[in-house]
Amino acid sequence: MNENNDKERLNYFIVDSTAIMHHFVLDGRLKENDFLIIPELLEIELKSFESKSVLTILEAEGKLIRATPSSESLERIIEIAKKSGDYGALSKIDTQVLALALDFSDSVIYSDDNAVQNVSAFLKIKVVSQHFSIRHKREYYWKCTVCGSKFSQESKTCIDCGSPVKRFFKRK
């Protein structure tokens, strides 16, 4: 790759609402070739005037891309999240953010959400976070608070005795 190509390379950051709220954009981190991708759903769910203003600014600067993930990528994310045990902790937007990262190769996710980070780790998707980042891949399991039975699939009550279960994880 020559210098010229390198300059023209575009960088895509896929963001969730925490990134918008943390002023990722206004921190001056966006360079000339950087663009933000948001799932279309995100815009609908943004409530604060402040967050909406950030989108308006991005839009005016030509930095905002609204995208809908492919159904193949969505299915892949759901499959991985079920295996890692993150499925129940992922919001619809989280799932879309992750799926968009598969659709836009070499993109980077910006999120403080630990389920997003964990699923990303399993798929080798790059994640940047501002406040919180997990150190190890986690594989979640559920354990009954009464009889101690363990389950790899999410469930609200114990399959053996019907008591409440809690989520735990082991490092991978």
Token pair for 58: 């991005």
| Other Cβ atoms within 10 Å of 111 Cβ, number | 26
Residue pair 19/110 in contact (Cβ under 8 Å)? The answer is yes
Q: Which of 21, 28, 30 is nearest to 49 (CA)?
A: 21
Coil, strand, or helix at residue 31? coil
Provide the minimum distance between the beta carbon of 143 and Zn ion in the complex, in angstroms, as a whole number: 9
Q: What is d(CA 132, CA 117) in angstroms, rounded to the nearest whole number?
A: 10
Residue 88 CB, shortest distance to Zn ion, in Å, is 19
90 versus 158: smaller Cβ distance to Zn ion: 158
Least separation in angstroms between residue 151's CB and Zn ion is 10
**Which residue, 135 or 166, has its beta carbon nearer to Zn ion?**
166
- The residues pairing with 82 across neighbouring beta strands, listed in sequence order, are none
Residue (37 or 144) nearer to Zn ion, CB: 144
Residue recorded with tokens 């469930």? 155
Q: How far is the CB of 139 from Zn ion (least distance, A)?
A: 21
Kindly tell me which of 99 and 158 has the beta carbon lying closer to Zn ion.
158
- Interacting residues with Zn ion (CB under 5 A): 144, 146-147, 149, 158, 160-161, 163
